[in-house]
Structure 1
Amino acid sequence: DHPSVLFEYDPSRAGSVPVRLLDDFSGILQADGYSGYGRVCTENNITRIGCWDHARRKFVEASKAAKPKGKAKQAKLSKADMALSYINKLYVIEREIKDLSVAERYRIRQELSLAKLNELKAWLEANVTRVLKDSLTRKAMEYTLNQWPTLVGYCERGDLQISNVLAENAIRPFALGRKAWLFADTPQGARASATCYSLIETAKANQLEPAAYIQHVLEHIAEAETVEALEQLLPWNVSMEKIPKKVAQYD
């Protein structure tokens, strides 16, 4: 029941990795269409829902590829553009209901979003075979249809999200940082980086100023000689009143 962000390093993307990470977990896993998540969902009876950001991104790439180069203008919308227009309507609904109660979000999704989703699916099924095989548009359409049972999952509850944007936002600083410095060249260094990013992003998720939180942890961790004492240093157990005020704000 606490917002948390965990970065975990592993040299492999095998299905055994999510099985280890999600051992004893029960609930909902939101992820892209990577097949490696299938095993843990089956073994742990986890409900899996999809991410519309991933599906939409494939159509964005297809749309860019379909546009003519140079100054020439396309006479009509491509099928990738048409798919994006359907998907964008789903996001419009989400923006309009984001401040409503869980019950209201569920009701509106059942009333409006499912209708839009049915329209999109019918359009995809009618047009997928009309697109050149191996094209980016065809791959985007096939991906969306193959992932359909999970992509509509967010409508089954009002507290779910249309995409895993929260995870994407947490990952972005790490991804951008790799452009400014060399990535860890050893597993030990990668795990250390993962630990640091986990603490920082979880502090941000719990409305703590990251630099002040890290200073608080460094000042008190030597005194934490039990598991219970260590747990008191976790971000959701630390209030802003306990950490120093005169620290440069995190940007």
Structure 2
Amino acid sequence: MWFIGKIRELYRIESAARALEHTERHALRQLQAPPLWALLQTRAEELRPKLLPQSIMGKAVNYFLNEYKALQGYLRDGRFEIDNNLIENAIRPTAVGRRRWLFIGHPRTGWRSAVIYSLLLSCRHRGINPQNYLSDVLGRLPSTKITEIHQLLPGHWKPAPPAHSA
């Protein structure tokens, strides 16, 4: 339970940091999170020799210590999340639909479906209406230079100004 309590404290920091700008989020994390990480590491190192490596706790402690630096990756940049829950939640419908889509057809069809699905999820994540996005982008795509195509991605997209009627 001690470990869970410390991890809960890390998530409390994240909860407080969520509304902040990336630079402020980074500063708050740098101030509050490293002491908790150090406590977690010290406790795990103390426990490791007392645990059977194949026990559940032994596996958890070994994983934690082996992945310690990677687990702290979110501390390097305020844009990073502490976990990958956003991605996991975004791909859950894909995982659930995997059986339904088993017979999607030709392999190229699956790849194209994945691209479209990624675009639509990116729109949803950014609060963009997917129908408006696709209508606008598909109309502009033929006249967009290849060097400017990135401007049509959901993260950079700005709707075309409405056409004036005469």
What range is the shorter-chain TM-score in? 0.7 to 0.9
- Counting only pairs closer than 5 Å after superposition, residues 1-251 of structure 1 correspond to structure 2 as 81-178=1-98, 181-183=100-102, 184=104, 186-218=106-138, 220=139, 223-224=142-143, 226-227=145-146, 233-235=152-154, 236-239=156-159
For residues 40 and 144 of structure 2, the distance between their equivalents in structure 1, rounded to whole angstroms, comes to 57
Residues 230 and 154 from structure 1, CA distance in 2 versus in 1: closer, same or farther, beyond 3 angstroms? Answer: closer
- Which one-letter code corresponds to 1:182 in the other structure? W
Query: Counterpart of 2:80 in 1: which secondary structure?
Result: coil
* Higher mean C-alpha displacement, 189-198 vs 129-138: 129-138
- CA drift of 1:99 comes to 1.6
Is the contact between residue 41 and residue 65 of structure 2 (CA under 8 Å) also seen in structure 1?
A: yes
- CA drift of 1:191 comes to 0.7
- CA drift of 1:185 comes to 6.1
For residues 82 and 167 of structure 1, the distance between their equivalents in structure 2, rounded to whole angstroms, comes to 28
Structure 2 unaligned residues grouped into runs of 5+: none
Residues 186 and 127 from structure 1, CA distance in 2 versus in 1: closer, same or farther, beyond 3 angstroms? Answer: farther
TM-score normalised by the chain length of structure 1: 0.54
Is the contact between residue 154 and residue 160 of structure 1 (CA under 8 Å) also seen in structure 2?
A: yes
Indicate the RMSD between aligned Cα atoms, in angstroms. 2.8
For residues 198 and 240 of structure 1, the distance between their equivalents in structure 2, rounded to whole angstroms, comes to 22
Aligned residues: 160
Q: 1:206-227 CA deviation, whole Å, 9 max, x = no partner?
A: 3211133234444x26744742
TM-score normalised by the chain length of structure 2: 0.76
What is the match of residue 24 of structure 1? Answer: none
For residues 88 and 42 of structure 2, the distance between their equivalents in structure 1, rounded to whole angstroms, comes to 29
- CA drift of 1:196 comes to 1.2
Structure 1 unaligned residues grouped into runs of 5+: 1-80, 243-251
For residues 152 and 117 of structure 1, the distance between their equivalents in structure 2, rounded to whole angstroms, comes to 8
- CA drift of 1:230 comes to 5.1
Q: Quick check: which one's helix share is greater?
A: 2
